[in-house]
């Protein structure tokens, strides 16, 4: 049989995002896969060195278009650590609720991509519709549909508008009411089980060696979640569970995603119940004169794909000296994907990739 080099993406139906994989194949078996990122490289971390601390907030959220909120959070936490800014308690709750909404929205987007790729168009349409309802909430809260620019150092940018609590509850109830339908049409569907189980299987030891986090790791059985192991915002204020599964394949990963969404919704309800009144914004200094003392900080949070970190170095100026983001898709998309695709079927390439939930702009930055 002849070896064949195959370009998968960036313009390809099975590809979500501007990303590309070069496959060396023999027949329909992949011998070697090489991830080829860089289609979305903008040099964020370089650009941030040219902008003041606060000017970087509109910039950082563009790092991940699916879920800009966790990028904001990681950067804000790093800046707060460096500058020693306190965040009011209510703002911590607002942040948590906001981030969990983002997780729900992001997972629904992932579900759309996955279901679409597997050919479950009905479910894909539902997921995208429900994500739009979450975006409506974001629009109401922050004034933006996709890029929210809501978390600021010292709190959040605006308080909840009037009646927003009820809106969250109504929207989430209407989405939650569809969970049985989702289950019937997709999660408990034998076709999904057949197509996904055993695909992109990785065991826990390997996942740890390759730096996996998020649902990729949790699908192998470890209850590792930054929200639990290093709590931030208000995640330690309420009771919640980390959903895990043990098989480590695409089927498990998607199930973890589903359970996480449900857990997030429950968590939002709990947070809403015990949210205190008070201030939500502790003003940082004048943006034109804000200098942060020399130092460095690493802050991390759990995005919908895994551990999101921001390493920020200040040399005492009004601009960061160096910023480096640790994005979950980076190990997932660059190493784990390559390893998982070895000896896979060409037909399973998209399945594997999307089940890892690789978001290209996050890798390229």
Partner 1 sequence: MNEGLKEKLEKAFPHAAITSMRDTDYVVTADKESVLSLLAYVKDAGFDHLTLISCVDWIDEGEFELVYILSPYMKDNEQISGNEKINLILKTRIARGNPAFQTVTHIFENAEPYERELHELFGVHFEGHKRLIPLFLERAYDIPPFRKDFDTRRYVKEVFDNIPAIQDIKA
Partner 2 sequence: MAMPSILGPFKTLRFLFEKPKTLRYPFERKEPALRYRGFHLNDWEKCTGCGNCADICPNQAIEMVEIPDMEAQPGQKNERPRLDYGRCCFCGLCVDICPPGSLRLSRDYFHIHFDTKTFTFIPKDEKTEKEKFLPPDKYSILQASLAHRKQDYEGFASDLDFSLFEPERITMPELGAEERKMSFVEQVLGYDKESARKEAARCLECKLCEEACPAHLKISDYVRAIYEDKPADSLKTIFKDNPIPAICGRICMKHCETACSLSIRGEPIAIRWLKRYVADSILDYKTALELSPAQPSGKKVAIIGAGPSGLALAYFLTLQGHHAVVFDAFPGGGGMVRIGPPAYRLPLESIDKDVNHMASLGVEFNFNTRVGSDISFEDIMKKYDAVYLAIGTSQSRSTKVKNADKCMLALDFLRKSKLESGVVVGKKIVVIGGGNVAMDVARTGLRLQKMQYPDEPTEIKTVCLENGDEMPASEDEIRESKEEGIAFNPAWGPKEVRLDDGGNIAGLLCMKVKSVFDGQGRFSPSFYEDQELFLEADTIIEAIGQAPDFSFIPQNLMSTLEFTPRRKVKVDENGQTTITRVFAGGDIVNINLDAVTAIADAKVAAEGIGKIFSKKTSG
Partner 3 sequence: MDRNKIGKWLKQPAKMANKYSLNAVYFCTGCGIIEIPPVITARWDAERFGIIPVATPRQGNLFMITGYVSLKTLRAIIRTYEQMPDPKYTVGFGSCPINGGMYWDSYNTIKHLDRYIPVDGWIAGCMPRPEAVFIGVTHLWTLIEKDMANGYLRYREHYDQYRGNQEKLLGKLDWPPLYATGIAQKEIAA
**Cβ at position 112, least distance to partner 3 in Å:** 6
Give the residue, chosen from 31, 54, 297, 346, that forms a contact with partner 2 under the rule CB under 8 A: 54
In order of 87, 131, 212, the CA distances from 21 in angstroms are: 43, 28, 19
Residues 23-52 binding partner 3 (CB under 8 A) are 38-43, 46-47, 50
Q: Does 189 bind partner 2 (CB under 8 A)?
A: yes
CA distance 68 to 78: 16
CA distance 329 to 337: 10
**Cβ at position 291, least distance to partner 1 in Å:** 18
The nearer residue to partner 1, 63 or 141, going by C-beta atoms, is 63
Nearest of 214, 293, 269, 339 to residue 96 by alpha carbon: 269
**Cβ at position 213, least distance to partner 3 in Å:** 23
Residue recorded with tokens 């040099």:
43
The nearer residue to partner 3, 19 or 93, going by C-beta atoms, is 19
Q: Does 322 bind partner 1 (CB under 8 A)?
A: yes
Coil vs helix vs strand at 324? strand
Is the previous residue joined to 231 through a cis bond, with omega within 30 degrees of 0?
no
The two beta strands, 3-8 and 20-26, are antiparallel
Give the residue, chosen from 260, 330, 341, 362, that forms a contact with partner 1 under the rule CB under 8 A: 330
Residue recorded with tokens 């998968």:
8
**Cβ at position 299, least distance to partner 3 in Å:** 23
Q: Does 139 bind partner 2 (CB under 8 A)?
A: yes
CA distance 295 to 63: 24
Give the residue, chosen from 185, 230, 242, 297, that forms a contact with partner 2 under the rule CB under 8 A: 185
In order of 84, 343, 351, 353, the CA distances from 348 in angstroms are: 48, 10, 5, 8
User: For 40-67, where are the alpha helices, taking DSSP H only?
Assistant: 44-48, 56-60
The DSSP symbol for 55 reads: T
230 contact, one of partner 2, partner 1, partner 3, none, CB 5-8 Å limit per kind:
partner 1
Binding site for partner 1 (CB under 8 A): 37-38, 41, 43, 45-47, 49-50, 81, 208-211, 213, 217, 221-224, 228-231, 244, 295-298, 300, 307, 309, 311, 313, 321-322, 324, 326, 330-331, 334-335, 364
User: Which residues in this chain contact partner 2 in the complex, by CB under 8 A?
Assistant: 51, 54-59, 122, 129, 136, 139-144, 147, 149, 157-158, 161, 181, 183-194, 255, 281, 283-289
């Amino acid at each position: 049989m002849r070896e064949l080099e195959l370009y998968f993406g960036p313009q390809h139906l099975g590809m979500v995002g501007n990303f590309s994989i070069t496959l060396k194949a023999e027949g329909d078996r992949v011998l070697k896969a090489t991830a080829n990122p860089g289609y979305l490289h903008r040099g964020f971390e370089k650009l941030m060195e040219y902008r003041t601390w606060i000017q970087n907030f509109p910039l950082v959220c563009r790092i991940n278009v699916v879920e800009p909120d966790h990028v904001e959070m990681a950067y804000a936490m790093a800046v707060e650590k460096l500058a020693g800014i306190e965040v009011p308690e209510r703002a911590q709750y607002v942040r948590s609720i906001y981030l969990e909404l983002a997780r729900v929205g992001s997972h629904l987007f992932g579900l759309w991509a996955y279901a679409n790729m597997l050919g479950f168009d009905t479910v894909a349409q539902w997921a995208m519709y429900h994500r739009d309802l979450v975006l409506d909430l974001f629009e109401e809260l922050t004034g933006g549909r996709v890029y929210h620019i809501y978390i600021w150092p010292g709190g959040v940018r605006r308080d909840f508008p009037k009646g927003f609590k009820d809106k969250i509850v109504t929207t989430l109830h209407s989405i939650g009411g569809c969970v049985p339908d989702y289950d019937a049409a997709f999660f408990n569907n034998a076709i999904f089980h057949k197509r996904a189980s055993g695909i992109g299987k990785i065991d826990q030891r390997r996942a740890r060696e390759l730096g996996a986090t998020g649902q990729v790791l949790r699908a192998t059985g470890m209850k590792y979640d930054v929200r639990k192991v290093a709590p931030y915002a208000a995640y330690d204020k309420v009771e919640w569970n980390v959903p895990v599964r043990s098989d480590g394949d695409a089927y498990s990963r998607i199930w973890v995603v589903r359970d996480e969404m449900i857990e997030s919704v429950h968590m939002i309800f709990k947070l809403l119940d015990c949210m205190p009144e008070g201030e939500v914004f502790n003003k940082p200094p004048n943006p034109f004169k804000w200098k942060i003392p020399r130092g460095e900080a690493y802050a991390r949070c759990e995005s919908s794909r895994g551990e999101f970190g921001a390493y920020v170095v200040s040399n005492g100026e009004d601009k960061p000296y160096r910023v480096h983001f640790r994005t979950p898709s980076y190990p997932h998309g660059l190493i784990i994907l390559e390893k998982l695709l070895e000896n896979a079927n060409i037909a399973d390439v998209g399945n594997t990739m999307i089940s890892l939930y690789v978001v290209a702009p996050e890798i390229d930055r």
